[in-house]
Amino acid sequence: MKNLRKKVGLLLATAGLIVLALVLGSKIMFAKGIEVPATSTAAVQSITPPKVTGARRHQLLLPLENLVAHDKALIAVVEPTERKKVVIVSVEELGSMRAIEREGVEDFIADFDGYPFTPIEVKVVEVLKGNIPERFELWEERGEIAGFKVESDDPFLSPGVRGLLVAGSYDNGVIAPLIFAPIQDDGYMPDLQMSLDDFRKMLK
Amino acid sequence: MKNRSRMIQVSLACTVLMFLITVLTVYAADPYWMGHLWDAGYAKYKISSSVPGQYHNDIENAAAKWSAPSPFYFQKTTQEPLYVGGHLTFGDPPWWAIAYTDVWYWGSDKMRYFVVTFDADLPQGWTDAPCWQGWVSELRVFPVALHELGHALDFISVTDTNTVMYTQYRCYTGLYQRDRNAVDDLY
């Protein structure tokens, strides 16, 4: 009888220690950001992954010559007139605008209800390439919604600053700014290290 | 005598001030690191099955280049590193991009995940040839992987030509001193 009690006590103590080790271990792993393989034990799988609070997209553009020579490139001298309120697109809509790699990302891509873009209205001063209306909207991949902040390498367009715009259109018609080079009074564009006239020659 | 010592003091102060202004101007005009760290001191990466086998070495070499300068390292894994890392894949970026990287954060200063996507349908094609071989128009996987893995360290593209984070494609054979210093300072 005494032996049985001893055995049960020992068993309970061991089980308690195992549970304690799992709980403490998982907390330490969570705090230190240690990788948890998907095939790990059930106890570890129950950890809630840290909530994503921001994202940034970086694009490595085609070389300038190839970019402006592309038949889908939209090129104009523009003047941004207004930065508008952030627009929220659904994750599905974002997926139709550009491929979102979902492998391994599904668990936290669901953390937010939408993805922010900031529309900028621009007035066209001179069309250099493409079918461009007098006024249109560009969407910068940038903005904040409910604690989720998105940034990107898209140029930041300030109202009143005239510049050369190279833009591209997503399949759904949304236009993305790719390059925006402010133009000085003498026509020089420091960002591209060339004048507007030289750029026109390059386009021909 | 008093005037002379005062002049020396003023000259020294001016020199220090000019040095500080130069440093601040360079870094303010051309910021490099955006403020998020892999707080474990490393990041794992998985090469997705969409990446043709001939480019795996280039990616591994690029990861090794970033790992060499400091205690920070990229470590290859075959499992999806959900907490400390990301993956590289061949996919379908918009027509204007050769490649792109999405990085995801949590908290105010912690990296969570990254995805590097190379354009699988690049018209001029990819090559694993070194910079001095093959056609100039073909894009090399190694320098692009080097640049994109820089983004995975939360570095942004800059106009400084003395870093692999230069905004446009160039055929790098390794890191610049500025890149080495940056990783070294952070980790």
Distance of residue B172 Cα from the nearest chain A Cα, in angstroms: 14
**CATH code, domain with A152:** 2.40.50
Look at residues B164, B170, B166 and name the one whose alpha carbon lies nearest to residue B65: B164
Inside any domain, residue B56:
yes
> Does A92 share its domain with A131?
yes
Angle B12-B15-B21 (CA atoms, 0-180°, nearest 5)? 140
Under the banding of pLDDT at 50, 70 and 90, the label for residue A179 is: very high
pLDDT at position B77 is 95
Note whether residue B54 is domain-resident. Answer: yes
Q: How far is B68 from chain A (nearest CA, A)?
A: 22
For residues B94 and B140, state if they share a domain: yes
Residue B49 sits at the chain A interface (C-beta within 8 Å): no
Q: What is the pTM of this model?
A: 0.78
What is the DSSP annotation of B95-126?
TTEEEEEEEEEETTTEEEEEEEEEETT-TT-E
Domain for residue B175, yes or no?
yes
Based on the fold, state whether residues A71 and A160 are members of the same structural domain.
yes
CB contact under 8 A, B104 and A103: no
Beta bridge partners of B82: none
What is the rounded distance in angstroms from the CA atom of residue B34 to the CA atom of residue B49? Answer: 30
In this predicted model, what pLDDT tens digit does every residue of A61-73 receive, in sequence order? 998 988 999 999 9
Let me know whether A24 and A78 are in one domain. Answer: no
**Domain-located, residue B35:** no
Residue B123 lies in a domain: yes
Q: How close, in Å, is residue B16 to chain A by CA atoms?
A: 29
Evaluate whether B128 touches B176 at the Cβ level (below 8 Å).
no
The band of A37, judged by pLDDT with boundaries at 50, 70 and 90, is: very low
Residue A174's identity, in one-letter code, is V
Q: Is the ipTM of this complex over 0.85?
A: no
Residues A27 and A72 in one domain: no
A112-147 tens-digit pLDDT: 778 899 999 999 999 999 999 999 999 999 999 888
Q: Are residues A182 and A93 in the same domain?
A: yes
Domain total of chain B: 2
Q: Which residues of B touch A62 (CB under 8 A)?
A: 96-98, 169
The CA distance from B93 to B143, in Å, is: 18
- Identify whether residues B55 and B103 lie together within a single domain: yes
Inside any domain, residue B148: yes
pLDDT in tens, A73-126: 999 999 999 999 999 988 778 877 876 655 555 555 556 778 899 999 999 999
pLDDT, tens only, B21-74 = 555 444 444 668 889 999 899 999 999 999 999 999 999 999 999 997 788 999
The string of pLDDT tens digits covering residues B108-166 is 899 989 999 999 998 888 999 988 887 777 899 999 999 999 999 999 998 888 999 99
Asked if residue B73 and residue B118 are part of one domain, the reply reads yes
pLDDT at A36: 41
| Token pair of A74 as six digits | 């939209």
> Residue B10: how many CA atoms within 13 Å on its side-chain side?
6
B37 is a domain residue: no
Instruction: Say if residue B88's pLDDT is above 70.
Output: yes
Say whether B25 sits in a helix, a strand or coil: helix
Q: Parallel, antiparallel, or unpaired: how do β-strands A135-140 and A115-129 relate? A: antiparallel
Tell me whether residue B36 is in a domain: no
Q: Are residues B78 and B6 in the same domain?
A: no
AA letter at B91 = G
> B99 is in which domain, residue-wise?
42-186
Would you call B122 an interface residue with chain A, using a CB distance cutoff of 8 Å?
Answer: no
Angle (nearest 5°) at CA B177 between B172 and B178: 95
The answer on B66 and B3 residing in a single domain is no
Whether A12 and A83 share a structural domain: no
Specify whether A68 is located in the same domain as A41.
Answer: no
What is the tens place of the pLDDT at every residue in B90-110? Answer: 998 899 999 999 999 988 899
- The 10s digit of each residue's pLDDT in A12-35 is 667 666 666 555 554 444 443 334
Asked if residue B171 and residue B99 are part of one domain, the reply reads: yes
Does A42 score more than 70 pLDDT?
A: no
Give the domain range for residue A183. 54-203
Q: Output A189 or B160, whichever has higher pLDDT.
A: A189
Q: CA B15, CA B9: separation in Å to the nearest integer?
A: 10
